[in-house]
Chains A and B, each alone.
Chain A
Amino acid sequence: MGFQDRLSRELVAAWAIAKKDVAIYYLRPGTIVGGVLFPLFMFLAFTAGKLGTAMALIPGLIGITTLFSASSIEPVSIPIERRTNTFDRLLSAPISLNALVLGESLSGLLYSVVIALVVFVAALLILATPIANILLIVVGILLSSLCFATMGTLFAAYPTESPGDIISMVNVVRFPLIFISGVFIPIATLPAVGQMIAYVSPLTYANDLIQGGYNGKMTFHPIVDVAMLIVFILIFQLIANYLYKRFSD
């Protein structure tokens, strides 16, 4: 079988897996609470209803919604599919584990992009937020969505049939990231340890791109942000791939 043939087979299957998640999981209450309402409440708590602060915090809001919404699908869908045995269907299809992981992550990516887009448009219409460079915002949203979706798929490799198990593990990572990635607290004002951790947080680079897109102020060069996010995506993909193989029994 030629490489091109193989690739197109894998992509067709990955897309089919993603479409199934869209149809089944996007509108589940748990997904909406974890992926949409939660970051929104978090944002309202930080702005405390003040409009001026709201404007300044829009880039941060987009950052954390991508984090939460992108990683809200697979930690729910995969354990449920283990329970109903439909996951065996995906595991026994003539595709590689990489295609399976990618297909699963695609649905998280799309979910996150749609929600980030809603926030972006709403901010534009209601707050008339100024924009410095829309390309940075778009790239930031796309890459961070794929990155956090793959992270969700990675955590869902843990062989449990209960979504709660995975969600609690994901939260152990998601919450600290908000505080050490420069979303609400500038990295420069963090203690030395916090600053070091910030460098290994994908949200730092995602947030930097989106901030830069809105107000032009950036901590890193955009190329660095993009490269770092791509590195994180590849690492998550590889680890996820390894874990799904490892946990197959």
Chain B
Amino acid sequence: MKFREHSMTSDTQAIEVSHLVKQFGAFTAVNDISFSVAVGETFGFLGPNGAGKTTTIRMLTGISPPTSGMATIFGHDIVRDTVAARQSMGIVSETSNVYTDLTGWQNMMLAAQLYRVGRTERDRKATELLQRFELYERRGDRVHGYSKGMMRRLTIAMGLVNSPRLLFLDEPTSGLDVESNLIIRDMISDLIRGGVTVFLTTHNIEEANVLCDRVAIIDKGLIAAIDAPERLKKTIQSVQSIEVSFDRSSPTRLDELRQVPMVNHARKEGDKFKLFTEDPTEVIDGVMAYAHTHNTRVTSITTLGPSLEDVFVKLTGLQRSGGGVTAID
């Protein structure tokens, strides 16, 4: 049986989401989101912790029933036609959910059998993927002894064993070292070239930028914007910031700092000042010159990457109630 047979309707849309809502009790984790992902597209979900990324994936993969709204995968309704919708997907969840008491090879076989990949095909595919992810030599070892990066790679290999047309990747690289990251990003690029549709969540702006055709910025269950990463990057760049503190305080300091060249916006946070800019280097020079002419000393100065919270606020004008700021790695 071939997966191709199942896409009877909607051949251009891999995912169609319409007014999807998920509530846990009184709490709304995903709040009326709509979007679609074309076949072959790489779509990113960029958002801070608790934004609703995983909850959305759990609904799209049929693990968690939506409170309202609907979603189709290659034309199959995920609630009413769950099995057909799942046929051609691969799922890589945010935790490396592998069976640590089984070997790497046994894990691959189990994943393949759950998707009914035939014996010769699963041997071939498992060998190919384990080699690709540099796990083949360790295939006979129990996963217990694998490193975190190896478990992550195994999780991704398991998600690919049924040669999916649509791959869900929930924060594939978060918390991994550079080498594991490279292997994983290379692999994602290859899949994309091979025509696989990818739905990827991340809180890493750079990752979204490198891999995705389009990116949705999500926070508090709401989508703030969906756009090509280059265009979002402009917004994102404009909210880089410098955090600076001085040895003496002055009531006019905030207003004076607003006059420093290239500062778009400034605010006081405790004894520090936060200056938003698209050009941090220029602003650092400006602040140093300012300190010199105003006869004060800079006690600390730091460049902060764009925070997703700031991007979200910039895009929507909504201030987050919690006030917590998420730094971007």
Chain A residues contacting B24 (CB-CB under 8 Å) are 249
Report the count of interface residues on B (CB-CB < 8 A).
Answer: 29
Is the CB of A24 closer than 8 A to any CB of chain B? yes
Is the CB of B1 closer than 8 A to any CB of chain A? yes
Structural contact, A12 and B113, CB atoms closer than 8 A = yes
Is the CB of A188 closer than 8 A to any CB of chain B? no
- Expressed in whole angstroms, the minimum distance between the Cβ of A6 and any Cβ of chain B is 8
**With A13-B116, A16-B110, A90-B114: A5-B1 Cβ-Cβ less than 8 Å:** yes
Structural contact, A92 and B63, CB atoms closer than 8 A = yes
Is the CB of A57 closer than 8 A to any CB of chain B? no
Structural contact, B84 and A88, CB atoms closer than 8 A = no
Structural contact, A94 and B83, CB atoms closer than 8 A = yes
For the residues of A in contact with B, the DSSP-based class is helix
**With A9-B116, A13-B113, A93-B115: A84-B100 Cβ-Cβ less than 8 Å:** yes
Report the count of interface residues on A (CB-CB < 8 A).
Answer: 28
- Expressed in whole angstroms, the minimum distance between the Cβ of A137 and any Cβ of chain B is 33
Instruction: Say which one of B44-52, B86-94, B129-137, B306-314 lies at the interface with A.
Output: B86-94
Structural contact, A24 and B101, CB atoms closer than 8 A = yes
Chain B residues contacting A23 (CB-CB under 8 Å) are 101-102, 106
Is the CB of A89 closer than 8 A to any CB of chain B? yes
Task: Identify which of residues 75-100 in chain B touch chain A, using a CB-to-CB cut-off of 8 Å.
Answer: 83-84, 86-87, 91, 93, 95, 97-100
Task: Identify which of residues 163-221 in chain A touch chain B, using a CB-to-CB cut-off of 8 Å.
Answer: none
Chain B positions within 8 Å of A, measured between CB atoms, are 1, 6, 24, 61-65, 83-84, 86-87, 91, 93, 95, 97-102, 106, 109-111, 113-116
Q: A16-B113, A89-B93, A249-B65 are in contact. List 17 more A-B contacts (CB 8 A).
A: A9-B116, A12-B116, A13-B113, A15-B113, A16-B109, A16-B114, A20-B99, A24-B101, A85-B95, A89-B91, A89-B97, A92-B63, A92-B86, A94-B86, A94-B114, A94-B116, A248-B63
Top-3 shortest CB links A-B = A16-B113, A85-B97, A94-B86
19 sample A-B contacts, Cβ–Cβ < 8 Å, listed by A number: A1-B1, A1-B6, A9-B116, A12-B116, A17-B114, A19-B110, A20-B99, A24-B99, A84-B97, A88-B93, A89-B93, A92-B63, A92-B86, A93-B114, A94-B84, A94-B115, A248-B63, A248-B64, A249-B24
